[in-house]
Chains A and B, each alone.
Chain A
Amino acid sequence: MKILIIEDQKELLKSMVGYLESENYLCETAEDFQTARQKIEGFDYDCILLDVTLPGGNGLTLLHELKKDKKADGVIIISAKDSISDRIQGLNLGADDYLVKPFHLSELNARISAVIRRRYFDGQNLLTFNELVIDLLAKTVFVNGKPVDLTRKEYELLLYLASNKNKVVSKMAIAEHLSGDGAEIFDNFDFIYTHMKNLKKKLSLGGYRDNIRSLYAIGYKFEV
């Protein structure tokens, strides 16, 4: 999978590349408007991460050109602007998602996988991890072919961990992901423990060996 990251902040670019490459994505980068335009015109990407404010031009112009050329690349806008009108403008121009800085890399990764999945696995959205199967369309989970009855939050938690498999995902990132955009976050993560406990119990009842490892103080890791 090939990803183009358009971002003018070198350090941020570096950390995104670092995280995504370890997820086996092939990352290309552009730090200004012209480079970005050349790369978009010259190659096809599975997903483009697009910063709005770029030296030499506005990222939304690139999005506009991309859609005019009828290119199928998935686009996630990464912006420091989080006002609703900015979001609506970006999504109306045809972006697949809109992520506000600062964000968790695990969240970015989960959104990239969602965009790529939507583009390539039409109709048969199945994620398989040995005996565990996640049906993305029906939002159901199977262990050894038998359905596991998960609550919405438990399902979202599992999918989030699965999207960031073999990565340490922090409690904060999980809390933010489960609470949704703009939700107030408390310093109390007890509710995550409850969801996690229930999820693990339900999976192991279906006969799935426990692959979700809890890391002291930080968070969790879904090991495959």
Chain B
Amino acid sequence: MKLLNKTIRSYLVYSSIILLITIPLFYVVVRHVLLHAVDHSLKSQMREIRNNLSSIHSKQELEIWAGLDKDISLYTEPGPASDSIYTRYVTNPRHHRDEDPYREIAGTISVNGQSYKLVISSSLVENEDLLGSIMIVQAILLILLMTGILWINRRTSKKIWMPFYSLLNEMQHYDLNKNNELTLKSSRISEFNELNQVIKNLLNRNYEIYLQQKEFTENASHEMQTPLAIIQGQLELLMQTVPLTEDQAVLISELEASIQRLIRLNKSLLLLTRIENNEYAPAATADIEEILVAQLDSFHDYLEKRKIRRVEKFEARPVAQCNIALMEILISNLVSNAIRHNITGGTLLVETGPGFVTISNTGIDKPLDAQKVFNRFYKESSDTASIGLGLAIVKRICDMYKFQLSYVFDAHMHFFTVRF
């Protein structure tokens, strides 16, 4: 749930409850007050009539007086001992369905010793209309008030939280590799300013650590080159010594193999750091097929020796915008990977199509862990010549140029596809 919705939701629930309770309550109260006023008026009318009865002296006079006011009815039978007030519904002759409510007071008056029942009625239709109008105005006012409050609340919340959202947005687009400076809006709210500052400091610290680590890898790899060169040189001198026994020869050969492995590992690490440092910036148009064929040819000896069938399906001539040397490394790594993990008498299939190249090979007959296959130092086989950085380098190059790299195992073949 969004932050703004969350705060407003409580307001909304509260407002609705208040609205639902107040409108009927208001209705009941106003109706009661109005009725009370009518009753009061009826009672005082009755009192007035009784007080003025002394001026009426005959039955005729009484009937004439009663006939003057259509709200007053006079009956010759005696009325209730004490005044009673009630509501009566009378069918409206004009609207057959409607029953108009009337409030009536019935009491007993005596003229010349004769008791009469006197009923004074007052129409409640106007009151009902008034009540209806009051209720509508009331409801409109309440709804306006609530929506206004909600709207103002939402607007202020949005304004208040704006630094937060801009910070969120900046963070989402932050790339440690580029360390693009965050452009954070300063706010009048000190907490947000503090948050901005804290995040800036955190990112700067992280970036420094990241730089230090990168620098460390680079320096370590560089520093290792000289001792490695020395060891290799000394080994070659050792090979020239006479006499050289067979045991010594085996030892030297094994040493050299290890040194070579270390040298390759070191070179790969250097390459990775250089890619991460964007040292291969200038992009050009790389002809994938041309690079692919050149790389396959350079592996000709290995393919032949291991009787690996080379199958080419070139259907389009894809090009990619990238550094040519990096594309060569990418293709070379994929091809050498497909040869290294192949089986004797297996197949190496290369395919190109519009905007993609696929390099696939036979090998172990089960899928590799697609999550880990591009990780550094991930190894499926025990091939000692494999240092486990080839595919990591491929991945890094693809990431750099936003190429899509995917791995699929299908029909006993491992497929590695790069989409440009």
Question: Which of A's residues lie within 8 Å of B, judged by CB?
Answer: 9, 11-12, 15-16, 18-19, 22, 80, 82-85, 101-106, 153, 167-168, 170-173, 178-180, 182-188, 190-191, 194-195, 215-219
The stretch from B7-15, B88-96, B234-242, B354-362 touching chain A is B234-242
Evaluate whether A186 and B385 lie within 8 angstroms (CB atoms) in the complex, with A101-B225, A101-B226, A153-B301 already known: yes
Chain B residues in 8 Å Cβ range of A171: 253
Asked if A184 and B332 sit within 8 Å, CB to CB, the answer is: yes
Partner of A191, one of B228, B249, B263, B301: B301
Asked if A80 and B226 sit within 8 Å, CB to CB, the answer is: yes
Asked if B236 and A185 sit within 8 Å, CB to CB, the answer is: no
Per-residue A-contact encoding for B236-269, CB less than 8 Å = 1, 0 else: 1101100010100110110011001001100100
Chain B residues in 8 Å Cβ range of A216: 246, 249-250
Asked if B305 and A170 sit within 8 Å, CB to CB, the answer is: no
Q: Is B274 an interface residue (CB 8 A)?
A: yes
| Range for the number of chain B residues in contact with chain A | 35 or more
Evaluate whether A80 and B222 lie within 8 angstroms (CB atoms) in the complex, with A184-B336, A191-B305 already known: yes
Partner of B249, one of A84, A179, A217: A217
Asked if B250 and A217 sit within 8 Å, CB to CB, the answer is: yes
Question: Which of B's residues lie within 8 Å of A, judged by CB?
Answer: 222, 225-226, 228-234, 236-237, 239-240, 244, 246, 249-250, 252-253, 256-257, 260, 263-264, 267, 270, 274, 279, 298-299, 301-302, 304-306, 325, 329, 332-333, 336, 339-340, 383-385, 390
Bound CA span A167–B237, Å: 9
Partner of B263, one of A12, A83, A85, A102: A102
Chain B residues in 8 Å Cβ range of A173: 236
Asked if B274 and A215 sit within 8 Å, CB to CB, the answer is: no
Shortest distance between the CB of B181 and any CB in chain A (Å): 28
Chain B residues in 8 Å Cβ range of A105: 232-233, 236-237
Asked if A83 and B279 sit within 8 Å, CB to CB, the answer is: yes
Asked if B229 and A188 sit within 8 Å, CB to CB, the answer is: no
Chain B residues in 8 Å Cβ range of A218: 239, 249, 252-253, 256
Asked if A19 and B222 sit within 8 Å, CB to CB, the answer is: no
